[in-house]
A = this chain, B = another copy of it.
Amino acid sequence: MTSRTPRPRERGIPEATVARLPLYLRALHGLSERGTPTVSSEELASVAGVNSAKLRKDLSHLGSYGTRGVGYDVEYLIYQISRELGLTQDWSVAITGAGNLGRALANYGGFGTRGFRIAALLDADPAMVGHEVAGLQVRHIDTLEDVVAKENVSICVIATPAAAAQGVCDRFVGAGVTSILNFAPMVLNVPDHVDVRKVDLSIELQILAFHEQRKAGGDKGPEWVGALDQ
């Protein structure tokens, strides 16, 4: 048995915890800007919108950085979480697709603030090349491999139409990118060593619609079900 070893064990930090660390980090930055020196798990959890026990368990995966009876030192915790997330170094990000979404992402302040630098904005449309967006000149998609190599890009964002996404993805992977944030409404096919995270606007809406229908419909089958049935 033991056909194959599944994972190299993520240093013991659960995926669910990793997904919440950025939330805590944001809350801590808010406290830091207000000059708060320390914070209890109860307060921080409240700001971050989670259960305090969950927060303590999450933080315990990083180490024992709190002080019993006092709480957590805000600045120190910011540093520890930043380090764990890999934000103490700068990551070069390449965005593909200079359409509405791509431009919105390039202009999104949250990217540039801490840990991330937009190295390039690429597009396949020659008419778009050369336009300035968020202080960047749009470059042609053919320079993709150059950009990845020269700017040392390891994270890319795909904001192209669905039809172009897989092709762009393949080129990024071929160029050595191993982390992809995909906004195109489709499933990307990548090798095992590449991480893909998906942001899908219409899926989110459909999930909301499901719950909305349930709230409106309530207990019994809605009348239009019978009318439309087959």
Residues in A lying within 8 Å of B, measured CB to CB: 7, 9-12, 18-19, 21-23, 25-27, 47-49, 83-89, 91, 93, 99-101, 103-105, 107-108, 110-111, 113, 115-116, 154-155, 178-181, 185-187, 193, 195, 197, 199-216, 220-221, 224-226, 228-229
- Complex Cα gap A23–B198 (Å): 11
Taking a contact as CB atoms under 8 Å apart, the answer to whether A212 and B228 are in contact is no
Q: Determine the distance from Cα of A85 to Cα of B205 in the docked complex, in whole angstroms.
A: 10
Interface of A is mostly: helix
Specify the chain B residue showing the minimal Cβ separation from A155.
Answer: B208
In the bound complex, residues from chain B placing their C-beta under 8 Å from that of A103 are 100, 104
From B88, B185, B205, B215, contact of A193 by CB (8 A): B215
Alpha-carbon separation in the docked complex, A60 to B214 (Å): 19
B115–A108 CB distance below 8 A:
no
**CB-contact partner of A18 in B154, B210, B215, B216, under 8 A:** B210
CA gap between A204 and B21 in the complex, in Å: 11
**Contact present for B201 and A108 (CB under 8 Å):** yes
With a CB–CB cut-off of 8 A, which chain B residues contact A199? 199, 201, 204
